[in-house]
Amino acid sequence: MPELTLEGHGTFEVKKGTRLVRAIEDCGVDILHRCGGYAKCTTCRVVFLEGEPQNRTLAERDKLKEKGESGIRLSCQCLVENDMTVRVLNTLKSTGLDSPGDPPEAQITPEPEWVSLSE
Ligand code: FES
């Protein structure tokens, strides 16, 4: 099983193919996912320190382009396929919000269309 290291929280074994936002939450970190995992809000943003996936969904690419963001990824649009080290940027505690958002589904939503990270 891949190892997921969450900066400041530890290293955890995660079932291969798990949606990253759910894996982070399952590891006990209160990451935000305000749009419920639909690549709309960007609150599930993370920085990859190691093991960044080299593909991404069109939804993620378009949203980050729209927001003019670089250097971050949307954890609701990533799968844990290999060992990775991640910095979580927005948590319930750090933002003081009342809810992390609706629970993301087990699979990536919307239905993913994959493109290379360089596209
Ligand atoms: S963009 Fe909203 S939860 Fe990922």
Ligand 1 — pocket residues by CB below 6 A?
33-35, 37, 39-44, 74, 76
Kindly give the distance from the C-alpha atom of residue 61 to the centroid of ligand 1, in angstroms, as a whole number.
13
Q: What percent of the chain has pLDDT over 90?
A: 98
3-state helix, strand, coil in the chain (%, to 5): 20, 30, 50
Whether omega before 110 lies within 30 degrees of 0, making that bond cis, reads yes
* Torsion over CA: 70, 72, 73, 75 (sign): negative
| pLDDT at residue 119, rounded to an integer | 82
Q: Could you tell me the pTM of the whole model?
A: 0.97
